[in-house]
């Protein structure tokens, strides 16, 4: 469904992606992982048509992204971005309704069915109770779920999620990832999600793609990709990988950075007990 071939991109003289080949099949949930700055968001933005590659192509269901209008792209894919356009005074409901814009009729109006879809997206993502609240007044985690509601309201067959669990507490992280999986299952969605937590990627994704040095460094099912070697070569971390029977997925114990410059932190003596008054 998403086919990326020979994709190259850089900002100014700096090459960030240097020949990416990647396919995300219909109905797959793929996690994109890699160190800070390796180009994960950039790749997502290229697939969303928000950036233009120097070389290579992105195809959605075989159609070159470059030949699609913005509206056609938005009907095919929804993106959860890390930032929401700050529109002062906008409420949650007003923002989530914007997810319906690509489906507007010839007069550019949204109808009752669109309201129903927006309400359902807010219910699913657990933000319905704050529908009337102004966005600026929400916490980081609440905003993150509103971003997801906006993407869900778009009802596009492809979901691109840039760190969908950012700012969320542990319970909401699990809820959001479980929701993404349920949506994938019930609506037959294709999902590509940037995830920082390898354990989350291992547990919730069908496949993990690791980026390093502008290329795909590993691509496969979690059991094959999440290894001690991956921790060392891609993340520069010494760690152990065990099989978590309960979740039937690899689980990482991260020990310390391998790079001498960032060697294991030397902790000072732990201070316990009540504070001593001067
Ligand atoms: N608009 C921009 N102009 C110049 N350089 C940029 C721009 N956006 C990103 N970069 C640089 O491109 C590289 C890749 O950035 P990108 O945001 O894609 O990385 P990432 O893997 O998503 O990182 P993180 O895990 O920290 O979110 C980084 O070195 C970043 O500084």
| CATH number of the domain within which 53 lies | 3.40.50.300
Q: Is residue 67 over pLDDT 90?
A: yes
Q: Give mean pLDDT, residues 181-189.
A: 90
- The pTM of this model reads 0.90
- Look over the chain and give the mean of its residue pLDDT values, rounded to a whole number: 89
Could you tell me if the CB of 41 is within 6 A of ligand 1? yes
Residue nearest to atom 5 of ligand 1 (CA): 11
Report the domain count for the chain: 1
Q: Give mean pLDDT, residues 233-258.
A: 95
Question: What band does 262 get if pLDDT is binned at 50, 70 and 90?
Answer: low
Q: Is residue 263 over pLDDT 70?
A: no
Report CA torsion sign: 101, 102, 108, 112. Answer: negative
Q: What is the distance between the alpha carbons of residues 227 and 242, in angstroms, rounded to a whole number?
A: 9
Beta 77-80 vs 158-162: how paired, if at all? parallel
Residue bearing the bigger pLDDT, 101 or 258: 258
Would 38 be classed as within a structural domain?
yes
- Are 151 and 96 in contact, with CB atoms under 8 Å apart? no
**CB neighbour list of residue 52: distance below 8 Å, 6 or more residues apart:** 46, 66
Could you tell me if the CB of 74 is within 6 A of ligand 1? no
Domain of 243 in residue numbering reads as 2-86+155-259
Ligand 1 centroid, distance to 42 Cα (angstroms)? 6
Ligand 1 centroid, distance to 18 Cα (angstroms)? 14
Ligand 1 centroid, distance to 223 Cα (angstroms)? 28
Would 101 be classed as within a structural domain?
no
Give 106's DSSP letter.
T
Question: Among all chains, which residue has been given the structure tokens 């997502």?
Answer: 44
Would 246 be classed as within a structural domain?
yes
Q: Is residue 59 over pLDDT 50?
A: yes
Would 36 be classed as within a structural domain?
yes
- Please give the pLDDT value at position 273: 37
Q: Give mean pLDDT, residues 137-154.
A: 90
Q: Give mean pLDDT, residues 109-138.
A: 90
Would 113 be classed as within a structural domain?
no
Would 6 be classed as within a structural domain?
yes
- Are 144 and 161 in contact, with CB atoms under 8 Å apart? no
Could you tell me if the CB of 195 is within 6 A of ligand 1? no
Out of 20, 31, 40, give the residue to mutate to test ligand 1, the one with the largest number of ligand atoms within 8 Å of its CB. Answer: 40
Could you tell me if the CB of 252 is within 6 A of ligand 1? no
Comparing C-alpha atoms, which of 13, 41, 22 is closest to residue 164? 41
Q: Is residue 266 over pLDDT 60?
A: no
Ligand 1 centroid, distance to 40 Cα (angstroms)? 8
Q: Give mean pLDDT, residues 229-238.
A: 96
Ligand 1 centroid, distance to 236 Cα (angstroms)? 19
Tokens standing for 36?
């800070």
Would 255 be classed as within a structural domain?
yes
Q: SS3 breakdown of the chain: % helix, strand, coil, rounded to 5?
A: 35, 30, 35
Could you tell me if the CB of 210 is within 6 A of ligand 1? no
Question: What band does 274 get if pLDDT is binned at 50, 70 and 90?
Answer: very low
Q: Is residue 114 over pLDDT 90?
A: no
Q: Is residue 111 over pLDDT 80?
A: no
Residue bearing the bigger pLDDT, 50 or 114: 50
- Are 190 and 159 in contact, with CB atoms under 8 Å apart? yes
Could you tell me if the CB of 34 is within 6 A of ligand 1? yes
Would 253 be classed as within a structural domain?
yes
Question: Among all chains, which residue has been given the structure tokens 């390796």?
Answer: 38
Q: Is residue 207 over pLDDT 60?
A: yes
Q: Is residue 117 over pLDDT 50?
A: yes
Q: Give mean pLDDT, residues 176-196.
A: 92
- Please give the pLDDT value at position 65: 96
Could you tell me if the CB of 37 is within 6 A of ligand 1? yes
Q: Is residue 265 over pLDDT 60?
A: no
- Please give the pLDDT value at position 275: 39
- Are 145 and 172 in contact, with CB atoms under 8 Å apart? yes
């Amino acid at each position: 469904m998403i086919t990326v071939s020979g994709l190259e991109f850089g900002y100014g003289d700096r090459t960030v992606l240097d020949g990416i080949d990647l396919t995300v099949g219909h109905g797959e949930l793929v996690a994109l992982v890699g160190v800070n700055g390796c180009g994960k968001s950039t790749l997502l933005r290229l697939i969303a048509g928000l950036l233009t590659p120097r070389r290579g192509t992105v195809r959605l269901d075989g159609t070159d992204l470059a030949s699609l209008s913005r509206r056609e792209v938005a009907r095919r894919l929804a993106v959860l971005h890390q930032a929401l356009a700050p529109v002062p005074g906008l409420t949650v409901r007003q923002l989530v309704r914007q997810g319906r814009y690509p489906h507007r009729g010839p007069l550019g109006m949204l109808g009752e069915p669109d309201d129903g879809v927006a309400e359902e997206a807010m219910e699913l993502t657990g933000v319905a109770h704050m529908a009337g609240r102004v966005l600026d007044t929400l916490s980081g985690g609440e905003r993150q779920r509103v971003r997801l509601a906006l993407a869900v309201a778009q009802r596009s067959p492809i979901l691109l999620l840039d760190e969908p669990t950012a700012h969320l507490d542990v319970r909401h992280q699990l809820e959001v990832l479980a929701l993404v999986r349920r949506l994938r299952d019930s609506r037959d969605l294709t999902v590509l999600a940037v995830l920082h937590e390898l354990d989350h990627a291992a547990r919730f994704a069908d496949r993990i793609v690791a980026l390093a040095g502008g290329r795909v460094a590993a691509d496969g099912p979690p059991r094959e990709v999440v290894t001690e070697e991956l921790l060392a070569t891609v993340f520069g971390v010494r760690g152990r990988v065990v099989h978590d029977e309960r979740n039937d997925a690899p689980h990482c114990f991260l020990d310390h950075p391998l790079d001498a410059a960032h060697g294991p932190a030397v902790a000072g003596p732990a201070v316990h007990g009540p504070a001593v008054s001067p």
